Structure 1
């Protein structure tokens, strides 16, 4: 299973709110469409983000599991709701499950593979989802 690092507050918004689009400057490789991934909260916050909500206390930790359902280029602000940015690739997410306990892990740029201990700690959690 692959993981994707997302800065806070965005990782928390994916895990605990309604953010179902991840804005990226690069196109999602086709092999990832339809796959389950881990959402990892990066070590540093996005300094330009406006923080809403109270689920932003996890940094350098895996916080959720999600399915990537697709990717498209967006020329407008309103194609994927209030979380979507203009002039970016929108990676659409579904079936998001927040982990009851964030799993500390060091992230990386792009997709990365968690080590066996981190993946085992995620899999031990009762998320109600079959892996």
Structure 2
């Protein structure tokens, strides 16, 4: 199997997101991830946390986005590129229907879902994936070019 030619060094991080929020990102419905602190732009592995936000499954916006999708947990399920990180100015409308007031909004672009989840441990905040995890993820994305 051919693998992508990847950059050397520290170029990618992991982000852990609970289901069903990450399924909405993978479906292309949710372009914004809300965080308490700012993140740097760049590529991230999309990791589905082990827990599922059960109340979120009852929200119409979420239910429409994830209908019929598998809700894998405890695994890397895709990749994305953070292109911007901002807070909406006070008194303005949120940048997206998915954006929470007071949160930092990570704009996710170039989202690619993996054909098969790759079991992995995530953590809070940006985390550094192991070289082995990066290899296993990008074996599934042979045409990826950062």
TM category (shorter chain) comes to 0.7 to 0.9
What's the secondary structure of 1:48's corresponding residue?
helix
Offset of residue 57 of structure 1:
2.1
Larger Cα Rg: Structure 1 or Structure 2? 2
Q: Distance in 2 between matches of 1:80 and 1:102?
A: 30
TM-superposition CA deviations, 1:48-76 (whole Å, max 9, x none):
31352232421011111111011111346
The normalised TM-score by structure 2 is 0.78
**Bigger helix fraction:** 2
Task: Indicate how the Cα distance of structure 1 residues 56 and 128 shifts in structure 2: closer, same or farther if over 3 A, else same.
Answer: same
Offset of residue 80 of structure 1:
2.4
Q: Which runs of 5+ in 1 are unaligned?
A: none
Structure 1 residues 81-120: aligned runs within 5 Å: 81-120=96-135
Task: Indicate how the Cα distance of structure 1 residues 78 and 119 shifts in structure 2: closer, same or farther if over 3 A, else same.
Answer: same
The normalised TM-score by structure 1 is 0.86
Q: Which residue of 2 aligns with 1:9?
A: 20
Task: Indicate how the Cα distance of structure 1 residues 103 and 130 shifts in structure 2: closer, same or farther if over 3 A, else same.
Answer: same
Task: Indicate how the Cα distance of structure 1 residues 5 and 87 shifts in structure 2: closer, same or farther if over 3 A, else same.
Answer: same
